[in-house]
Structure 1
Amino acid sequence: MAFDYDLFVIGGGSGGVRAARVAAAGGASVGLAESSRMGGTCVIRGCVPKKLMVFASGYREMFDDARSYGWDLEDGAFDWPRFSGHLNTELDRLENVYRSLLNGSNVEIFDTRAKLVDAHMVEMADGTRKSAKHILVATGGRPVRPDMPNAHLGLVSDDLFQLPELPKRLLIIGGGFIACEFACIMNGLGVEVTQFYRGAQILRGFDDEARGLVAEMMREKGVKLHLGTNIVDMARAGDDHSMSFPGGGTDAAMGVPSAERVVESAADEGGPVWVKASNGTEAVYDAVLFATGRNPNTADMGLEDLGVEIGRRGEIVVDDYSQTAVPSIYAIGDVTNRVQLTPVAIREGMAFVETVFNGNPTPVDHALIPSAVFTQPELGTVGLTEEQAREQEPVEIYCTSFRPMQSAFAGRPDRVLMKLVVSKENRTVLGCHIVAPGAGEMIQMAGIAVRMGATKEDFDRTVAVHPTMSEELVTMKTPMRVA
């Protein structure tokens, strides 16, 4: 049977674009459909714009530090429209780069939504159909709102990059890395941030000691973090049932008279939102952000009708080679809900091409993936947490927490954490966890050592770079505890 393409990719994010380009470079004929902007979540509404906002939010603290170091400075006001305009220009540039890379690889682009008709056929929104020997689904994921009345009044992470102006008071619902990152970003930009998380501690799944320090530092820097707390009701402020506050007319969550809060918020574009919390408090915020999870983009794609297995969260179920239950259909990236990280999607795309087009079956190894949470301070992590390692085998914990030189000199109470989880039996470093400015940069290098199976003695034999924070990783001689 003759096909229009050797490969048709649905989704123009990092994983889909990489797979399309590499397959085409090897001589395959490739088509790609993207219903939104080329570059996907990471480039357009995720990693890239978020990291630029992280950079922007860090400058406010630098003004105070600079004065401590002898500079005569006056604080300036943050200009959100100016930054936002520059941000959108940069995202446009990056989208054009992605398009140029695809065009340069002779990948045919369809700027439209596509769904599957059968195991070898896709249909565009205008009814055009194209056949392919192999189909790769790389449609990513999307943020979701909770199932509750008036949830539409809340924002999701995609919305933050397109705000016409910053809210004065923002409530963030959630305790994962997206919630915590935006809490720090907005706080750094001068927004009054309150965060609700229903769990006992933020950043579930990360090392307990590390996430505890992140939470402590977030509070120290001004984020009003409420654990064991969730939203139970919300409405537009001004509705009859939304204007009563406990505690003698005082907004308990904000600490100001409720009448003043309502009047002050009423002029904000879009209107303020009244919120009732599970702890009984009520407050009014200029905006509410739901950062309560992301679901794979698999709805209305015709997948289940073809026999593609869909998991309970809507993810496409694949094997170690990213192949679905339908042999000609593969899936990579967030749509499979394996590890939701851009470099992982890219690695999966490369492995797919190696398997399908180069005749070299290549499984994707999802173990020992370094990652970073861009809170302030950052959290970098690779390998097992202390809690995971203790369940697996006896371990030694090497850990130190201290005030780093730069912030200590400036009089700030910031603390950092350097932690190694070591197998007691064979001395292998099972996990490394860093909470510090620049932890994302440090963990990339530490990840190489952990991936290679370095032992604690390998770390010990490495000469320290002094004076740095990271030197502590190679100078900790005595375990803090054995478990």
Structure 2
Amino acid sequence: MADYDYDLFVIGAGSGGVRAARLTALGGKRVAIAEEFRIGGTCVVRGCVPKKFMVMASEVSHALEIAEGYGWSFEGTSFDWPKFLEAKDVEIARLSGIYAANLGKAGVDLVHGRAVLKDAHTVEIVGKDQTITAEKILIATGGRPWAPETMPGIEHAITSEEAFHLPELPKRILIAGGGYIAVEFAGIFAGLGVETTLIYRGPNILRGFDDDVRAHLADEIEKRGIKIILGCQHTELKKTTTGIVNVLENGMEIETDVVMFATGRVPHVVDLGLETAGVELDDKGAIKVDSLSKTTADNIWAIGDVTDRMNLTPVAIREAVAFHETVYKDNPQHFDYEAVATAVFSQPPVGVVGLTEAEARHSCPKGVDIYATRFRPMKYAFTGSDERVLMKLVVDVDTQRVVGVHIVGPEAPEMIQLAAVAVKAGLTKAQWDATCAVHPTMAEELVTLKVKQSQETNAG
């Protein structure tokens, strides 16, 4: 066997790469990991964690409105954007430091720099005149925001990554996109008092989610003051002395201070040297892998968003564990992508697990039963708010298994984590019904839904 510098070299120190490196080093292997930016990757540094802090900060304005309904009064309340950014950056630095420390404790060598493949066993650290060899290589470089580069004036727009570091809070913002990132940032900026417009080329926001969820959330976020423009997109951005003019294909022109494109993310594969190592991409530009995360090169694997399978941080971590079990413990494993719960930290938030109604109607031969309810949360009883919660169960008629749970409303992400246990376990509607409710809670509705909303089948 050739003499390599390391048994495993990991490119990318995000959640997936860090987990794989730590597990492998703790197992006694020589491991190094390279990161071109900051340890922690998208989730910790410029994704879910800082975004959740922004969500929590922006929710305070709504909480104050609720509090007034309960008799509280406030004078002179204000939000200090620079103070928030400083606190957020301090916490992100702390978390990044913990990731780095844990790598060190596990015995992983940390390489600061951009690693590029020179061949199937060799990487070069750009700008450092350093080459490193490894018996096996794991690519975990994640994804990057995508924006229409050829659109006139696109240089005046920002992406989600710049949104975390705006020097000042704008008075007006237009967000292009209809996915979870666009919807979440619309809620953030609106909650912080910014005049917010959301524009999406599709017929409704959150493509791929259950249609009832999509419609319900669109209605609810408009109640929070967000203007939604559907079936439309940009043709041009024009910089003026007073802002940026968004020129839309329907003829509208909207001036805002900031324009943010949240139109999707793409695998980060640019200039990685994949071709020289025999690593192929699929037709969507992601690294092509088999069920065990192996690429088309015998000694190279890839996990996480760079493979564009299911782009969620916990999934990347599970893929890392499966990689370690497969490659270093002679225990071939692949992650089960069925019934993975996910949350959208919109305002109100969304929690879903399992099949949408449309998906279930295609996959359940004898049809589906639908149980759904919409109600005003108890919290809003004194506020005069007409905000509503949506809860929906999708049940396979044949097996009576609950195959989908969809929630829009306060604490939906917390509820869906536990509902996911039941869906993953394959529990039936009768078992849900046999579970005693916790009263008074919103979650009790999940086990007290008795009236079928639909009994249509897939026949014909």
> Fold conserved (TM > 0.5)?
yes
Name the CA distance, whole Å, in 2 between partners of 1:441 and 1:399.
Answer: 19
Looking at structure 2, the residues matched to 414 and 75 of structure 1 have their Cα atoms a distance apart, in angstroms, of 26
469, 472, 477: which one aligns with 2:445: 472
Q: Structure 1 residue 478: deviation in Å?
A: 1.6
Query: Do the aligned residues in 2 keep the contact of 1:117 with 1:302 (CA within 8 Å)?
Result: yes
Question: Does residue 143 of structure 2 align to residue 141 of structure 1?
Answer: yes
Q: 1:40 — aligned with what?
A: 41
Alignment of 1:328-367 (within 5 A): 328-367=299-338
Report what 1:247 is aligned to: none
The residue type equivalent to 1:143 in the other structure is P
SS in 2 for 1:58: helix
**Aligned position for 2:156:** 153
Residue by residue over 1:263-317, the C-alpha shift from the partner in whole angstroms, topping out at 9 and shown as x without a partner, is xxx3xxxxx2111112111121101000001111111111123221112332101
Name the structure 2 match of 1:292: 263
More off after superposition, 189-198 vs 311-320: 311-320
Local SS of the residue matching 1:409: coil
- Superposed counterparts of 1:45-124, under 5 Å: 45-74=46-75, 76-124=77-125
Partner of 2:374: 401
**Are positions 1:321 and 2:322 aligned together?**
no
Q: Which amino acid aligns with 1:346?
A: I
Does the aligned pair in 1 maintain the 2:120–2:276 contact within 8 Å? no
User: Does 2:182 match 1:179?
Assistant: yes
- Alpha-carbon distance between aligned partners in 1 of 2:234 and 2:240, rounded to the nearest angstrom: 15
- Paired amino acid for 1:353: H
Q: Does 1:443 align with 2:416?
A: yes
CA contact (8 A) 2:152 2:235 kept: no
Q: Percent identity?
A: 51
Q: CA deviation at 1:149?
A: 1.6
**SS in structure 2 at match of 1:90:** helix
Query: How many angstroms apart in 2 are the aligned matches of 1:219 and 1:397?
Result: 26
Q: Deviations over 1:339-370 (max 9, x none)?
A: 11000000000100000011100012111100
Could you tell me how far apart the structure 2 residues matched to 1:467 and 1:409 are?
A: 16
**How far does residue 67 in structure 1 lie from its aligned partner after superposition?**
1.4
8 Å CA contact 1:297, 1:314 repeated in 2: no
* 2:395 and 2:404 in contact (8 A); partners too: yes
The separation in 2 between residues aligned to 1:231 and 1:300, in whole angstroms, is 29
**TM-score, with normalisation over the residues of structure 1?**
0.92
Q: Matches of 1:478 and 1:158 in 2, distance apart?
A: 45
Distance in 1 between residues matched to 2:261 and 2:220, nearest whole Å: 22
Residue segments in structure 1 that go unaligned for 5+ positions in a row: 239-265, 267-271
CA contact 2:11–2:140 (8 Å) conserved in 1 = yes
Q: Distance between the aligned counterparts of 2:254 and 2:60, measured in 1?
A: 30
Mapped to 1, the partners of 2:49 and 2:298 lie a distance apart of 34
Q: Displacement of 1:194 after TM fit?
A: 0.6
Contact 1:304-1:310 within 8 A present in 2 as well: no
Other structure's SS at 2:86 match? helix
CA contact (8 A) 1:12 1:32 kept: yes
Q: Normalising to structure 2: TM-score of the pair?
A: 0.97
Q: Does 1:302 align with 2:273?
A: yes
Q: Secondary structure at the match of 2:381?
A: helix
TM-align CA RMSD: 0.9
**8 A contact 2:404–2:423 mirrored in 1:** yes
Please state whether the residue corresponding to 2:290 is helix, strand or coil: coil
Counterpart Cα distance in 1 of 2:273 and 2:335: 26
CA–CA distance in 2 between the matches of 1:161 and 1:360?
Answer: 41
* 1:414 alignment partner, SS class: coil
Q: How many Å separate the matches in 2 of 1:211 and 1:283?
A: 25
1:77-97 per-residue CA deviation (whole Å, 9 max, x = no partner) reads 111001000000001101110
Query: How many residue pairs were aligned?
Result: 451
SS in 2 for 1:37: coil
> One-letter code of the match for 2:229?
H
